[in-house]
Amino acid sequence: MQKNKVNQLISRYRGVDDAQQYLDYTLESPQQLLDVARDIMRNIPPTFGACAMLSAMWAGYLKDHHSIPAIVVAGDLKISGKTIFKCKKNLPEPTKSGNSISKSWSGHCWIEVDGWIGDLSVFRTAYQIEGPSILKEFIISSFGQNRGALLCQQRDLPSGMKYVPKYILKDNQIDSLISGLARSI
Residue 21: pLDDT over 90: yes
Residue 153: pLDDT over 60: yes
Residue 145: pLDDT over 70: yes
**25: nearest Cα among 64, 65, 66, 68:** 68
* Predicted TM-score (pTM) of this structure: 0.92
Quick: pLDDT tens for 84-117.
999 999 988 877 655 545 566 789 999 999 999 9
Cα separation, 182 vs 135, whole angstroms: 28
pLDDT band at 33 (very low <50, low <70, confident <90, very high): very high
